[in-house]
Amino acid sequence: MENADTGDLVISGMCKHVSSSSTKEPLSEFDIANTGEKLSTIFDEILNLKVEQASSHEIIASTHEYMKLACGKIVNICNVTNKQSHLLKTLSYKSIDLEARGRKNNLIFRGISESRYENCATRVFEF
């Protein structure tokens, strides 16, 4: 904390607070144990962490393989979709081209109304 008058830091109150609070906490079994028991406990914890790490590594490796397979399938699906899109566009252009070629030889007569069920040949001869 800062003293407003001098600008100096006041830390004595904070040190007393920290030291008084740390003495009130009860000691754990680890704090009471002898050095051999502490080392044994630490060693057991390290072994547990190694086992967890190995397990995590296996899970990550299997997840990585799964993701590689999934990405491969997605790439294949994208390729198929792109090929089908190209094929659809080609078929669309061919359809438009065939329709245009079919209309090339059609004659257009102005002033003659069309009906759905008419005989075109007789209609042209009557004109």
78-91 per-position pLDDT tens digit: 999 999 999 999 99
112 within some domain: no
123 within some domain: no
57 within some domain: yes
Rounded mean pLDDT, 66-81:
97
61 within some domain: yes
- Residue whose token pair is 């001098």: 6
Q: Which one-letter amino acid corresponds to residue 90?
A: T
Q: pLDDT value at position 111?
A: 73
Closest CA to 127 of 115, 116, 111, 106: 111
Rounded mean pLDDT, 109-115:
73
Residue partners of 30: CB distance under 8 A and separation at least 6: 38, 41
Rounded mean pLDDT, 105-127:
75
Q: Can you name the residues that pair with 2 across neighbouring β-strands?
A: 9
Joined tokens for residue 69: 């397979």
Rounded mean pLDDT, 37-57:
91
58 within some domain: yes
18 within some domain: yes
122 within some domain: no
Please give the residue that has the higher pLDDT: either 6 or 41: 41
Rounded mean pLDDT, 65-70:
96
In total, how many domains does the chain have?
1
What mean pLDDT is reported for the chain?
79
Domain extent at residue 84: 12-104
- The Cα–Cα gap between 40 and 42 comes to 5
